[in-house]
Structure 1
Amino acid sequence: MAQIGIYGLGTMGSALALNIAEHGFDVAVTNREVEWIAPFMTEAGDLAVRLHPHEQLEAFVAALNTPRVILFMIPSGAPMDAMLDQITPLLSPGDTVIDGGNADFHDTRRRAAQLAERDLHFVGLGVSGGEAGARHGPSMMLGGSDHSWAQLEPILTAIAARYDGIPCVARLGPDGAGHFVKTVHNGIEYADMQVIAEIYSLLRNGAALPPAEIGALFAAWDLGPLKSYLVEITARLLTYTDPETGHPMVDVIKDAAGQKGTGRWTVIEALRLGQSASMIEAAVGARGWSSEKPTRQRAEAILGGAVGAFDDTPEVLAEAFLAARLLTYAQGFRILAAASDAYGWGLDLATIARIWRAGCIIRSALLDDIADAFDRDLPQGELILAPEIAQTLARCLPALRQVVCSAVHGGHPVPALSAGLAWYDSMRLGHGSANIIQAQRDMFGRHGFERLGRAGLHHGPWWD
């Protein structure tokens, strides 16, 4: 009998199945397109002895130890609901069903509540690290019941990425907690990638450096406090040459970025929670603008492109980059804290930072410091107010200001860098400008306002 079943043998599902089998667990496997099963078993090689293929759903379910554990690696949304309709009649009380895709956490909460009525357990499992992570050690974010975690913990801790020997997986809370944390992870990923793209553009288009030289700079940065997976792969990809043209590979790639929606979800949920995700929103917007290449080409002919040189030093850029990355994480963790309060999840932000230290796309050297900061009592619970973080920002912010100013003067777009700077400057003002907005709202709509040092709702003298 198998200890876990995996339905869905696409890139991620097949990689996870091999990872689990390699760690000594028996895995039942199946796929909607049954013709995928035989090639997968051939690919498994020596691991095939621990993989048990089935073409029929009923046989797949029957092959599992009880209480059963079934991981679905299929597109979320309607396909997941359709599969639940098919498999639920075959399950027994105490069984656990897992959605390992990038799902809307509202759907996960709904499904968990529906299955709980039948004494079944539904888990939303965020899996980060791509195909390589799934095969050799992902970072995993689980939302589900204690019962589900007890079933899954031996398997997930065995296959997870490790940082200093510690598995990068945790139960973060009930129902949609895991999928929400994965969504925000992806939002931070969007912003970090956009910051890297903006810095690259300043060096390529503003300083006219060749890609290989920029790659060497990123490789040097990856040896210090900016060390991260995204910096590492950026350094590597910039060294490649297109075999067809001999040009740098990056120069022949169309400048139109795709997206699957999780960054946009992060922004939407942040707004619902009354939070700022300005750097993530900037990254989502930049991807949207990038898809309008014909419009941008026409606009360049009419309006002119960025023509100003950029001559800030690599040292200044590195400090600006470090500040921007810290601000990106700070915004992301604010969203997590707000959602934890709104949904009663009790998210442990230090634990989240720690399980992101290996296996996932946004892993970076900063996460140790961030985890340590959340282990302490932060002023107002704000990461940017942690003493060590605040000191780093104080040192790096002048560089971020300089880079943003240089970019603006040269006509180079830096939406994420400038959004981070604006947010930081807004948060450090004890007395801002929203009083004029409140006065306007009262004058045109009699909405009222709070008055300094006095309780209650008040109106201005314009209504006397």
Structure 2
Amino acid sequence: MEQAEIGLIGLGVMGSNLALNIAEKGNKIAVFNRTPDKTDEFVAAAGDLRGQIVPCKTIEEFVAAIRPPRPIIIMIKAGDAVDQQMELLKPYLSKGDIMIDAGNANFRDTMRRFDNLKDSGLTFIGMGVSGGEEGARHGPSIMVGGTEESWKRVEKVLTSIAAKYNNEPCVDWLGENGAGHFVKTIHNGIEYADMQMIAEIYGILRDGLKMSAVEIADVFGEWNKGRLESYLIEITEKVLRATDPIAGGPMVDMILDQAGQKGTGKWSVIEAQNMGVAATAIEAAVAARILSSQRGERQAAEGILGLPSVTPAAVSDRKAFIADLENALLAAKIGAYAQGFAVMAAASKEFGWNLPMPTIAKIWRAGCIIRSQFLDEITSAFTKDPHVANLIVTPAFAGMVKDTDAALRRVVSYAALGGLPVPALASALGYFDAYRRGRGTANLIQAQRDFFGAHGFDRLDGADSHHGPWGSGASAA
């Protein structure tokens, strides 16, 4: 019997869809699930693809069904469950076999697993997969971290199943150990920021301009034909047009304003802090989700404090204001992407990954949640200057920031004066203003630090004097 080219453990929604995608692209795949009935159900529902699937009831049978060196995708809940599954697999594996974690893993766990296998003859791939259920089934964006040799073993299969952009597969090897999962983490951090900014614009249209869900859908539909064309803008229009089958009104108006999160956004913020990189838009988006989850507290606070005693200003030229909102969203989006790529650049140096920035932008152009027209321009910018300090100082993006700066200021001002919360949009504006100012105000902070803790400072004139004349009061703090 012909052996499978690859194996997959875990036939949940994502695992099942990924397995069907692999089979559909002409690759024979062995599958195993802890619950045998689930395997039977999966094969029964596979239809014409059944012939490409080798269902297995035991780990021993599963491993034997795969052509060595055996690549095995583990598609189960991230965390301890992955470690446990790896331990169950190890006794049956041979030198050169590859265990692949395709879940939303913390990249530090991936690095640990990679290192733990170094002297075992086995190896590990941390594989970021973006695109949700639809992407897994029809073509995701795939970010691979591991040895180059292990990548070569799976390249053919992964290239066949990945999303395509202008016939280019949205998959590549990004570096050793945790590189793939780190890039996926930052992808998700940017996704958090993008979604929050869209929600803030929606809030201005709903609560400032008093527009209905369908009217707002029309706005997003128009934007999706221009520079904001993207998957998230596209689905926002669809969400806003959907009708609640129970109450009959807009579906979005019946949904609790409590956003969930699974950890990747938080990890991206933590790692930005660890790397010493400002990622204020992503931080604001994660904080906004946390606040959204505290619905009871927010309702109680409204009862005590009331809403701000202001109302959004009347808009005399609605068309011009909506154009401002479009440009503000574009500007803030640039800020979020710039921050995400800056975090990746810092991590690349920290861990010796040599992350290929143009390649990352390329593989995000299709299949993933943040796919957009915008990524073509990012690809071009990083191709021209792969080591640029920040995306916003490349010629193309510097021009876009200058073009959209005034609109972002007007929108943030309108929201602040009208009592409408826009933490991500405001943080993007603050980031631009701080990043572009050659002399900021941290000189005062350094003076304060020296006053209470004798931490010292550097002088503008370079003189060899690093403490101020604070007097005896300095030590009192």
TM-score (norm. length: structure 1): 0.98
Residue of structure 1 aligned with 2:398, choices 367, 386, 390:
390
Which amino acid in structure 2 is aligned with residue 210 of structure 1?
S
CA-to-aligned-CA distance 1:290-334 (integer Å, 9 cap, x gap): 111111112222222255225361111111011011111000000
- What residue in structure 1 maps to residue 447 of structure 2? 439
Partner of 1:242: 244
Aligned-residue offset at 1:378: 6.9
More moved, 58-67 vs 176-185 = 58-67
Runs of 4+ residues deviating >6 angstroms: none
Q: Which residue of 2 aligns with 1:145?
A: 147
Q: Deviations over 1:395-443 (max 9, x none)?
A: 1010000000000000000000000000100000000111111111111
Aligned match of 2:225 in 220, 223, 226?
Answer: 223
Aligned match of 2:333: 325
Mapping for residues 51-450 of structure 1, pairs under 5 Å? 51-305=53-307, 308-309=311-312, 311=315, 313-377=321-385, 380-450=388-458
Q: For 1:339-371, what per-residue CA distance to the aligned partner results, in whole angstroms no more than 9, with x for missing partners?
A: 001000000111100100000000111111111
AA partner of residue 31 (structure 1)? N
How far apart, in 2, do the equivalents of 1:168 and 1:328 lie? 21
Partners of 1:455 and 1:164 lie apart in 2 by: 57
* Aligned twin of 2:460: 452
Q: CA, structure 1 residues 456+124, in 2 after alignment: closer, same or farther (shift >3 Å)?
A: farther
Find the aligned partners of 1:463 and 1:270 in 2 and give their Cα distance: 38
Cα gap change, 1:9 to 1:451, in 2 (>3 Å): same
Superposition RMSD in Å: 1.3
Task: Please state how far the C-alpha of 1:55 moved relative to its aligned partner.
Answer: 1.3
Deviation at 1:388, TM superposition (A): 1.1
Letter in 1 for 2:336: T
Kept in 1, the 8 Å contact 2:272–2:279? The answer is yes
Q: CA deviation at 1:457?
A: 7.0
Write the letter of the residue equivalent to 1:222: N
C-alpha displacement of 1:162? 0.4
Distance 1:359 1:412 in 2: 34
Question: What residue in structure 1 maps to residue 475 of structure 2?
Answer: none
- Report the residue type matching 2:114 in the other structure: A
Q: Give me the whole-angstrom Cα distance separating, in 1, the residues matched to 2:388 and 2:47.
A: 54
Q: Which runs of 5+ in 1 are unaligned?
A: none
SS in 2 for 1:412: coil
Query: Does structure 2 retain, via aligned residues, the 8 Å contact 1:378–1:385?
Result: no
| Contact residue 143 and residue 176 of structure 1 kept, 8 A | yes
Q: TM-score, normalised by structure 2?
A: 0.95
CA distance in 2, matches of 1:134, 1:388: 33
- Distance in 2 between residues matched to 1:245 and 1:25, nearest whole Å: 46
Residue identity in the other structure for 1:406: Y
- Asked if the contact 2:223–2:326 (Cα under 8 Å) also holds between the matched residues in 1, the reply is yes
Work out the CA distance in 2 between the residues paired with 1:308 and 1:222.
30
C-alpha distance in 1, partners of 2:162/2:326? 31
AA partner of residue 179 (structure 2): A
- When residues 462 and 92 of structure 1 are mapped into structure 2, their CA distance, relative to the original with a 3 A threshold, is same
Contact map agreement 1:379 1:386 (CA 8 A) in 2: no
8 A Cα contact 1:280 1:416, kept in partner: yes
Deviations 1:96-139 (A, max 9, x none): 11000011111101110111211211000000000000000000
Code of the residue aligned with 2:312 in structure 1: it is A
Query: Aligned partners of 2:146, 2:461: CA distance in 1, in Å?
Result: 45
Aligned equivalents of 1:76, 1:289: Cα separation in 2:
25
Shift of 1:380: 4.9
In structure 2, the residue corresponding to 1:454 is in which secondary structure? coil
C-alpha distance in 2 between matches for 1:75 and 1:176:
18
Q: Does the residue aligned with 1:226 lie in a helix, a strand or coil?
A: coil
Answer yes or no: is the 8 Å Cα contact 1:96–1:120 preserved in 2: yes
Q: Secondary structure at the match of 1:398?
A: helix
For 1:150 and 1:378, how far apart are their aligned partners in 2?
24
Is the 8 Å Cα contact of residues 312 and 417 (structure 2) preserved in structure 1?
A: no
Partner Cα distance (1:457, 1:375) in 2: 44
Distance of aligned partners of 1:378 and 1:158 in 2 relative to their CA distance in 1, 3 Å threshold: closer
Q: Secondary structure at the match of 1:332?
A: helix
Give yes or no for contact 2:8–2:31 (8 Å, CA) kept in 1: yes
Query: 1:455: how far off?
Result: 6.9
Change (3 A) 1:174 1:457: farther
CA drift of 1:376 comes to 1.8
Note the alpha carbon deviations across 1:210-259, whole angstroms, 9 max, x for none.
00010011010000000000000000110111121111100000000000
Q: Distance in 1 between matches of 2:118 and 2:47?
A: 39
- Work out the CA distance in 2 between the residues paired with 1:53 and 1:463: 79
**Distance between the aligned counterparts of 1:106 and 1:455, measured in 2?**
43
Identity of aligned residues (%): 53
Q: SS at the partner of 1:461?
A: coil
**How many positions carry a matched residue from both structures?**
464
Q: Counterparts of 2:243 and 2:386 in 1: how far apart (Å)?
A: 47
C-alpha displacement of 1:463: 5.5
Instruction: Tell me by how many angstroms 1:379 deviates.
Output: 8.3
* Kept in 2: contact 1:378–1:386 (CA 8 A): no
CA distance in 1, matches of 2:126, 2:10: 16
Contact 2:158 2:171 in 1 (8 A): yes
Is the deviation greater in 199-208 or in 306-315? 306-315
**d(CA) in 1 for partners of 2:120 and 2:388?**
42
